[in-house]
Amino acid sequence: MDNAYDFGSQRLIRAIQTVEVLNIFFPALGYSLILDARHDGDEPPAILLAEAVGSAEARLRSFARLRPHFPLPAQLAIGPWFGSMRAFVELGVFDAIVERWRTLGYAEQERDASAALRRLEHLERRALRDIISGAASKALWERET
């Protein structure tokens, strides 16, 4: 971590620029942003938002459903994002995704990235609401009356 406001963004940006398949997971939200740069004449690269799974192996197996046109990836890079969605944008991670897809020749998929970002922002607001309201809390002990 470079400083208190940078949650490993530079390493994540480097991975976005170079890795073929990247799973960015958001532990507080229970979701993963999957960046799959594999493409061919029939299938473009994909930006997918999926519920988090319990392990890297489970995520690899999910590709049979998420990207059935392609074989399972030979490698899967995984990186957590512990910061806010605001930091995700301000630290350049979102722009790195858009730029990678432009580099691949699929700039029109910026709408997929934007839709995923809006959904993640919605999930973050809901999680914060649940924390404030107590809906995300569970009592460990209650006094007997």
Q: What is the DSSP string of 47-98?
A: EEEEE--SSHHHHHHHHHHH-TTSPPPS--EEEE--S-HHHHHHTTHHHHHH
pTM value?
0.85
pLDDT computed for residue 30 by the predictor:
94
Residue-level length of the chain: 145
CA 68/CA 61 separation, integer angstroms: 11
Beta bridge partners of 36: 21, 46
Q: pLDDT tens digits for the chain (145 residues)?
A: 334 445 578 999 999 999 999 999 999 999 999 999 999 989 999 999 999 998 888 998 899 899 999 999 988 999 999 999 999 999 999 999 999 999 999 988 889 999 999 999 999 999 999 888 887 777 788 888 7
